[in-house]
Structures are given as C-alpha cells and as structure tokens.
Amino acid sequence: MNGIHRIDTSLGPVQAAFDAKGAVLYLGFAGHEFRAPLLAKLARLDPVAHPEASSVDRLRDQLEAYAAGRRTAFEVPFRLHGSAFEQRVWGALQRIPFGETRSYGQLAAELGDANLSRAVGRANGANPVSILVPCHRVIGANGTLTGYAGGLAMKERLLRLEGAIRD
C-alpha cells in the first residue's frame, strides 16, 4: 500500500503512515503482516505518499531517545480511528504509566466491566500506533506476556527497557 514508510531504528525497522499534517496514522514493526481491515482503514485515512521529512525525523528521533532510555513519553502527534469502545481502551492504554503493566482484566474493570477482558484484548490488538499507545504494557492475568503484533520478544524487550520486567 502506498503511504507506508519504513524507518530504521535501533529497536528494529518500523513502518509508519502519516497524514498531510504529519500526524502518525499507523506505527508498527516491519515484518508485521497487515490484516485486510487495517489496510482498508488506512486507505480511508488517506496517508500521504511522501510525508514531510520533519515528521519522519521527529518520529525516528523520539523512538531512538525512547530506545536509549532518554524518553518515557512521546510528543509525536497521532490520529486514532476506531469504534467508541476501541477509543476507550486506547485511552486507558495511554494512562498506563511508563514502567508499569496492567492485565486485560484490570483494564476491563477500569472501563467498568471486568467481563470485557476479551473485548479489551481485541481492541488492544487493533491499536494502530504501537509504542505511541503502549499496548505492549498489557499482560496476562498471571503475569505472562501475551500477544503482541511486534512479537513476544519485542514486547519483552520494550518492557525491560521501561523497567517493567527485571531480572
């Protein structure tokens, strides 16, 4: 799909899509298989074929600072498009502090219904801006690392980088 750009970072190659104002529409690790609904959603958001170099550089610089332990939050503009429930889940993800984790059940309870953990998991998996909206901070109820589009090794790496996992 036109509009998806590869950016090499010390975390590994990522793929990103930007809108005409430089906001990130998609951020994920290269090698992630795009699902048809995600591609269709991205196409409707009209990502630019050639984003401003400053937008790409800002994202790369902030990812590098994060990877080096010099950044705990991002100041990169992004646009989230999803259902009302997905928006609520993504908002809850953004409230998980750097260096902490939550279980799917904890997020469901925070959203008002502890029985929604599977729905929270689906919304978490639909997050279009990995790392910026920290879906990697969600773990299984027993503390195990579960599903991550960038792979479980990357999820573990990010959580170690943040100090949420210690040896």
List 135, 158, 159, 164, catalytic entry: 135
Rounded Cα distance between 18 and 69, Å, is 25
| H or E segment to which residue 61 belongs | helix 53-67
Q: Nearest CA to 84 among 133, 45, 38, 126?
A: 126
| Residue 135 annotated among the catalytic residues of the structure | yes
Enumerate residues 6+ apart whose C-beta is below 8 A from 163. 99
Rounded Cα distance between 99 and 41, Å, is 31
User: Which 3 state secondary structure label does DSSP give 6?
Assistant: strand
Q: Nearest CA to 129 among 62, 88, 78, 85?
A: 78
What single-letter DSSP state applies at residue 38? H
Which residues have a catalytic role annotated?
A: 135
